[in-house]
């Protein structure tokens, strides 16, 4: 493994320090915890996101206007501590409550729940939306067990826009949960990322293999198979995604094709080309398409496809202005 790091145990801290040198005019680092808030916090519901480091620019790069107001970060692929979450929430809260958004992983659930209990003792009102968009991780009847992957991007976007419009905490929660319920993703891994702390790959794959549905930390997918051409691969992923979602002919969707770290923009556009054609063949209306690498796993090879099924309310919030270091609308 070759990495531009100093000490493995300092990766998360030094990542935040480097980020702050770049964005000190718009962001504020909290003392003694790995947490950041906007400098221009407003009198509104606060949106606080978080998770492990190593998925940049998620979550670090999504603090800004129309998105999150604060972020709590853990070490690489590890949940932030309850104390970090608590401090970020208190710093971001204007008195109108806090909405937490994070991926549905056991460590994150445990630590965010503990933070909520600690905040209740300080009379800080909060709600929680756990992103669970990965259709490969559990069947639809167990949606509450599904992992959160690149769908975080759409859910954070909707929450930030709703909060920016001055909606109440309950209103922001309800529309964000609706966005979460209407977001579906599936990924494929072609090669592993590496964990800076240990220098070990997150999983192993033969040179001629890929794994359909693999998670962003190397969690098992649905099927390990031989490498296939791009169009055939996208067809397999879209077939599963459309079967597992409630997206049907006549529906309108926003699409995200997300690279996992080492997949080039050229490859992502080739995949996106086929995604667009499949949706067209199925009679699904594409309102917007985004091709980028937002939710990564170091240098993992592969990509994910996310669909957000839109209605008029979600479309208006989807279109609202957003401005952070790594996401703009």
Catalytic residues, which ones? 55, 217
Name the one residue in this structure whose structure tokens are 């950041």. 36
Rounded to 10°, the helix 152-164/169-181 angle is 150
Per-residue HEC secondary structure of the chain comes to CCCCCCCHHHHHHHHHHHHHHHHCCCEEECCCCCEEEECCCCCCCEEEEEEEECCCCCCHHHECECCECEEEEEEECCCCCHHHHHHHHHHHCCCCCEEEEEECCHHHHHHHHHHHHHHHCCCCCEEEEEECCECCCCCHHHHHHCCCCCCHHHHHHHHHHHHHCCCCHHHHHHHHHHHHHCEEEEEEEEECCEECCCCEECCCCCCCEEEECCCCCCCCCCEEEECCCHHHHHHHHHHHHHHHCCCCCCCEEEEEEEECECCCHHHHHHHHHHHHHHHHHHCCEEEEEEEECCCCCCCEEEEEEEEEECCHHHHHHHHCCCEECCEEC
The pair of structure tokens assigned to 189 is 């891994």
Instruction: Tell me how far apart the alpha carbons of residues 247 and 51 are, in angstroms, rounded to a whole number.
Output: 28
Query: Which backbone phi and psi does 86 adopt, to 5 degrees?
Result: -60, -45
Instruction: Tell me how far apart the alpha carbons of residues 306 and 255 are, in angstroms, rounded to a whole number.
Output: 6
Instruction: Tell me how far apart the alpha carbons of residues 51 and 321 are, in angstroms, rounded to a whole number.
Output: 24
**Do residues 146 and 138 lie in contact, with contact meaning Cβ atoms separated by under 8 Å?**
yes
């Amino acid at each position: 493994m070759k990495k531009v790091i100093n000490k493995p145990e300092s990766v998360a801290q030094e990542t935040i320090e480097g980020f702050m040198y770049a964005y000190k005019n718009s962001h504020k680092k909290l003392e003694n915890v790995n947490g950041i808030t906007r400098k221009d916090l407003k009198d509104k519901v606060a949106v606080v996101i978080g998770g492990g480091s190593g998925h940049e620019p998620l979550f670090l790069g999504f603090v800004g206007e129309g998105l999150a107001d604060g972020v709590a970060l853990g070490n690489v692929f590890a949940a932030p501590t309850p104390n970090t979450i608590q401090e970020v929430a208190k710093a971001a809260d204007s008195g109108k409550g806090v909405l937490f958004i994070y991926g549905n992983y056991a460590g994150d659930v445990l630590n965010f729940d503990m933070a909520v209990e600690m905040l209740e003792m300080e009379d800080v009102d909060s709600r929680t939306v756990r992103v669970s968009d990965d259709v490969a991780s559990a069947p639809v009847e167990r949606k509450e067990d599904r992992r959160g992957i690149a769908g975080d991007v759409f859910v954070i976007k909707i929450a930030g826009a709703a909060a920016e419009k001055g909606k109440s905490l309950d209103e922001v929660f309800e529309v964000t949960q609706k966005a979460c319920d209407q977001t579906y993703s599936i990924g494929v891994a072609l090669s592993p990322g590496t964990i800076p702390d240990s220098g070990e790959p997150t999983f192993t794959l033969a040179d001629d293999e890929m794994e359909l549905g693999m998670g962003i930390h190397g969690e098992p997918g649905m099927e390990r198979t031989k490498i296939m051409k791009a169009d055939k691969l996208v067809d397999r992923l879209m077939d599963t995604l459309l079967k597992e979602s409630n997206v049907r002919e006549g529906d309108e969707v926003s699409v995200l094709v997300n690279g996992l770290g080492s997949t080039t923009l050229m490859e992502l556009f080739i995949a996106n080309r086929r995604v667009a054609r499949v949706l067209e063949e199925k009679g699904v209306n594409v309102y917007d398409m985004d091709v980028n690498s937002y939710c990564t796993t170091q240098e993992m090879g592969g990509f994910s496809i996310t669909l957000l099924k839109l209605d008029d309310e979600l479309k208006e919030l989807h279109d609202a202005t957003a401005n952070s270091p790594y996401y703009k609308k």
